[in-house]
Amino acid sequence: MDNAHTEVKPERIQKIMSAYGVASRREAEKMISAGRVSVNGVTAELGQTATVGIDDILIDGKPLPDMSKHYYIMLNKPCGYVTTVSDERGRKVVTELVADINDKTKIYPIGRLDLNSEGLLLLTNDGAFANTVMHPRFGRKKSYEVRVRGDINSALSKLKEPMEVDSRMVKATSVKLIKQIPNGGVVSITINEGRNKQVRKMCNLCGLEVLALKRVAIGSVKLGNLPPGKWRHLTKEEIDLLRS
């Protein structure tokens, strides 16, 4: 097919920024609202559209990143880091841990792990890939290892049942006891939804106190033995698994 006459269509600026790895769409909207984005020398407005290659789009006075190279990163996020590219409260952010990528291209996290959680976190500068991984319709299973305190034997059966979290019914797809420890245990919990602090809230509803929470897999992609605070590039097979 001859692509010489393919029409280039304008798109919402936040979508362009996401596709170019500047930030997630939500973060991009905040940047636009804060007046940090301009189109053809005029401060952009939320909802505005533009055309890459025709309009001059600047973020903080700088052009869109070079998209000639995409990055797909797995990070073992330690506790104490915020899953974002910047934090108004001055807390440590996960992108500090991948700052040794010698490139001007910005990468950003796909989804979230809360401050006190650790484990598998994906980062990329490919907006389309990020949207595929995050979109609820793909139902990506997320698996966690959770160290808890409480009556583990009583809670296990409750964790397997549907329950209401933040006014929505949720249900784990898998709950397994990894090992029992004094006054608690370590439990493997797999979910589809991935709502805000969902696993912690599920455990609390079953009378368990979460002492430590680590995400160990997203779909078929596993954290493995990657040390805390370290990152690696995803393999082509892993990228294909997450895209499928």
CATH number at residue 190: 3.30.2350.10
Count structural domains, the chain: 3
CATH number at residue 106: 3.30.70.580
145 and 211, same domain (yes or no): yes
Pairwise CA distance, residues 86 & 90, whole Å = 8
Q: Which of 39, 40, 16, 41 is nearest to 29 (CA)?
A: 16
| Set 55, 66, 87, 114: catalytic member | 114
pLDDT of residue 26: 85
Domain annotation covers residue 186: yes
Q: Which of 81, 74, 133, 113 is nearest to 213 (CA)?
A: 113
The pLDDT profile of the chain, 244 residues, written as one tens digit per residue, is: 333 333 457 889 998 887 776 777 888 899 999 999 999 999 999 999 998 888 999 999 988 876 667 889 999 999 999 998 888 898 999 999 998 875 556 788 998 899 999 999 999 988 888 888 887 676 789 999 999 999 998 999 999 999 999 899 999 999 999 999 989 999 999 998 878 899 999 999 999 999 999 999 999 999 999 999 999 999 989 998 898 7
Domain annotation covers residue 5: no
133 and 228, same domain (yes or no): yes
Q: Provide the phi-psi class of 72: left if phi over 0, else alpha when psi is between -120 and 50, else beta.
A: beta
| Residues 28, 65, 87, 119, CA torsion sign | positive
Full domain range(s) for residue 190: 141-218
* pTM for the full predicted model: 0.74
114 and 230, same domain (yes or no): yes
pLDDT of residue 54: 87
127 and 111, same domain (yes or no): yes
103 and 55, same domain (yes or no): no
Count Cβ atoms below 10 Å from residue 132 Cβ, excluding itself. Answer: 16
Could you tell me which residues come within 8 angstroms of residue 140 by beta carbon, excluding any fewer than 6 positions away?
133, 192, 194, 218, 219, 242
Distances (CA, A) of 35 to 11, 48, 101, 103: 18, 13, 28, 26
Structural tokens at position 5: 């006459």
2 given a catalytic annotation: no
52 and 99, same domain (yes or no): no
pLDDT of residue 169: 92
pLDDT of residue 230: 95
130 and 228, same domain (yes or no): yes
pLDDT of residue 103: 58
Domain annotation covers residue 193: yes
pLDDT of residue 105: 66
